[in-house]
Structure 1
Amino acid sequence: MQHLRQLIEIENSELAQVLRFSLYGLEAALNQAREEYPQDPGIELCEQFLQELYQLLQPISVPQVEVSGEFKLIHLQTAFNSDSELNSYLGNSPLQSQNDADLWNEIQRCLLRVPENLAIAWRRLAGELAQEVGAVEDTQNLDELPFIRDEIIYPGLSGTIQAKGLCLSQKALLKTDINRSYATSELQLLAGFLLLYRKVLEIEPNLHHALKSVFSFDVVSFYTSPEQRHLYLEALSDRWQRTEKTDENTDPIFNLRAWIDMDEAIHSLVFIPPAERYSWWGKLQQESRRVLKKVANKAIKAGHDIRLKQLSGLYADNCTFSKDDIQLDCGGTPGEVLACLRVYARINQEENPGRVLFRSLR
């Protein structure tokens, strides 16, 4: 560890910065693997190594410096903008915030779109850099997003920087216009998505949509085409109302089609590049897919021949199952599916093509 310590402590070194970020990622990966494989024969050595790694990554004590006329978090902004791995998931657009509070929120929201291990490493680094300028993470000062559960998405800051964090809140859900109890947890989840999306579109300027029934030609930005926000939310609400009526309908095929349409609307809210599948955003949207499978299983139990396929992997292997796909020139791996907007469905021998975003080979 001697040479690692010497390199990581060099001030103003790009190599030291790259090493620190890589070790954060290694730490996060090993912690996750340790939880998944508690009986692994290497578990004790892994824990000892993690302890050494933790000590190595402790922030170096530096004198507090007053930063006037610029961000206190200027070093965090610079490091974030220059990280090539982050850029591969987020695109090359630099951070746009003009003050520390907005910068904290912009960075934290970006981290919701990258793989979990990378997000964990960067959240830890962001917290350390904030602490160096006299700010501390605050899990009480949070903006609330309505949803079916309580969850801190990311903390705010207090001290020299005042910034609100973000959380999911059942209490906020109960205050909305859709607050009644539903017969199934599945319908409660979809109501949560509808209300969550309404609120998210107010605070996240980087969102787009690719809902074919609203705009069939391309992925469209809500920032550059603000009228699309109303059109998308109106379509989402209409599909929600049709899905809500499935609670009263005994036809499993009618119900399945309504749920497929609703799931498509949920997955058609996207970033460019699309959020990584195992990011916070990716996992959130996958909750809709898991419910869709339950609805399909009910139709199967009723005697229907049903096959659903979430399209992923090489586009060449999936294009026969999809239609009206959209090609992008950023994100992911060239030639692969970036996001499955609509699942492929075979319903009693009837083919219903899916729809995807995919990366061009060029």
Structure 2
Amino acid sequence: MEHLRQLLGIENSELARLLRFSLHGLEATLNQACTEFPLDPGIEICDEVLQELHSLLQPTPIPSQLNNAWQDAIISPQNQLKLSHLRETFDSDKELSYYLGNSQLQSETDSDLWNEIQRKLLRIPEDLAASWRQRSLDMAQEIGAIADYSNLYQVPFIRDEIIYPGLTGSVQTQGLSLSQQSLLNSQITQGNESDFSAGFLFLYMKFLEIEPDLHHALKSVYSFDIISLHSKPEHRNQYIEALSDRYQRTQKAEDNTDPLSILRAWIDLDEAIHSLVFVPPAERYSWWGKLQHESRRILKKIADKAINAGSEVRIRQLSGLYADICTSSKDDLQLDFGGTPGEVLTCLRVYARINQEESPGRVIFRSSR
């Protein structure tokens, strides 16, 4: 078991990635088997195996944060936060609570607090996020910490991008970046939409390791609610398995080169991409909102190819007042907070009409009360 843990901990390792996928699949299979065969003589041992797998697959904190947590405990008397003023200001901001809900920051060390705040800023409108990012840097500088753009935790994607800087000085912690090289190390690029879908797959795998606020609303996994992937690790495994399956189906469809098969596979993949959500969902013009919208742009290109090949295709992203679009959606989910009452908060699945065949969309909306 220790060697498995060591291999899983190696960054940018193809072998580690394949092992993690395999263990997630094994865990999901055993969970399903335990449900179907509760009286099996091996059920108790199987429960022990599942506990060991769950321990192996627990999200791994950013390495520098582990060191910094220990340093903070030593340097700060009684583990008092140097960035406490930043924390108090962030928690008390009413404009932020409109987009993020009323939950308070949870971090207990300066390094974790910096990363928690910066990741939350990815869910609010970009102009407000930019203002708050500068404000947080100014407050960090007041206690002797400055921005560090060189020490970055890399997340695989189709391009390079610094998402936010780390800190050096009185507080030392990594920032976060997208890395095309990390993606190239993880898979063989094919020069088409598969590169983009692979980018999302690997990006989501990494974010699920470092972001405890992520939820899923994927109907094929669970259709009745929005589920926390931190508190429900079995749902995290099932979501990853579903996302991986849809990614593989898009690759097979692209190999067959049939425009309608590719379109239908991408509609399903796009749904899985947009079903990884926060509560309340990220604002449309936030970093997260714009990132996910890149999938919709690819979907439009694929729809255009199907139209040029002679098919009748209509794709519609559902937005605006829920009362205006509810006839085009099905099995929608409701929240009592976030956004504007009576409006769609996010479109999980697009409405599609392909050669007279209709497929309803799916949304999360704010109740009108």
Residue of structure 2 equivalent to 1:114:
124
For 2:204 and 2:142, the matched residues in 1 are separated by 35
DSSP-derived class of the 1:286 partner: helix
For 1:350 and 1:283, the matched residues in 2 are separated by 29
Residue of structure 2 equivalent to 1:338:
345
Of 185, 188, 198, the residue aligned with 1:180 is: 188
The AA in structure 1 aligned to 2:329 is S
Residue of structure 2 equivalent to 1:129:
139
Cα deviation, residue 67, structure 1: 7.2
For 1:193 and 1:74, the matched residues in 2 are separated by 35
Cα deviation, residue 252, structure 1: 1.3
Deviations 1:298-351 (A, max 9, x none): 000011111000000000011011000001111100000000000000101111
DSSP-derived class of the 2:153 partner: strand
Residue of structure 1 equivalent to 2:256:
249
Instruction: Say whether residues 1:88 and 2:98 are aligned partners.
Output: yes
Residue of structure 1 equivalent to 2:148:
138
For 2:84 and 2:97, the matched residues in 1 are separated by 18
For 2:290 and 2:173, the matched residues in 1 are separated by 26
Greater RCO structure (CA 8 Å; 6+ sep): 2
Instruction: Say whether residues 1:305 and 2:315 are aligned partners.
Output: no
Q: Structure 1 segments of 4 or more deviating over 3 A?
A: 66-69
Instruction: Say whether residues 1:238 and 2:245 are aligned partners.
Output: yes
Instruction: Say whether residues 1:101 and 2:108 are aligned partners.
Output: no
Deviations 1:252-283 (A, max 9, x none): 11111001000000000000000000000000
Structure 2, unpaired ranges of 5+: 1-74
Structure 1, unpaired ranges of 5+: 1-65
Of 214, 227, 231, the residue aligned with 1:207 is: 214
DSSP-derived class of the 1:276 partner: coil
Cα deviation, residue 174, structure 1: 2.1
Comparing both structures, which one devotes a greater share of its residues to helix? 2
Under a length normalisation based on structure 1, what TM-score does the superposition of the two structures give?
A: 0.80
For 1:247 and 1:189, the matched residues in 2 are separated by 13
For 1:253 and 1:284, the matched residues in 2 are separated by 25
Of 201, 216, 221, the residue aligned with 2:223 is: 216
DSSP-derived class of the 1:161 partner: coil
For these two proteins, the number of residue pairs brought into alignment is: 294
For 1:183 and 1:71, the matched residues in 2 are separated by 47
**Largest Rg, 1 or 2:** 1
For 1:132 and 1:318, the matched residues in 2 are separated by 49
Instruction: Say whether residues 1:156 and 2:166 are aligned partners.
Output: yes
For 1:289 and 1:344, the matched residues in 2 are separated by 12
For 2:267 and 2:311, the matched residues in 1 are separated by 16
For 1:339 and 1:261, the matched residues in 2 are separated by 16
The AA in structure 1 aligned to 2:300 is K
For 1:202 and 1:342, the matched residues in 2 are separated by 25
For 1:221 and 1:93, the matched residues in 2 are separated by 14
DSSP-derived class of the 1:196 partner: helix
Under a length normalisation based on structure 2, what TM-score does the superposition of the two structures give?
A: 0.78
The AA in structure 1 aligned to 2:358 is E
Residue of structure 2 equivalent to 1:348:
355
For 1:67 and 1:125, the matched residues in 2 are separated by 23
The AA in structure 2 aligned to 1:255 is I
For 1:203 and 1:110, the matched residues in 2 are separated by 12
For 1:207 and 1:125, the matched residues in 2 are separated by 25
Residue of structure 2 equivalent to 1:29:
none
Instruction: Say whether residues 1:165 and 2:167 are aligned partners.
Output: no
For 1:197 and 1:125, the matched residues in 2 are separated by 28
Residue of structure 1 equivalent to 2:33:
none
Determine what percentage of the aligned residue pairs are the same residue.
66
For 1:77 and 1:198, the matched residues in 2 are separated by 28
Residue of structure 2 equivalent to 1:193:
200
Cα deviation, residue 68, structure 1: 4.4
Cα deviation, residue 248, structure 1: 1.6
The AA in structure 1 aligned to 2:194 is L
Residue of structure 2 equivalent to 1:53:
none
For 1:241 and 1:190, the matched residues in 2 are separated by 9
Residue of structure 2 equivalent to 1:79:
89
Residue of structure 2 equivalent to 1:327:
334
For 1:281 and 1:248, the matched residues in 2 are separated by 30
Cα deviation, residue 251, structure 1: 2.1
The AA in structure 1 aligned to 2:190 is Y
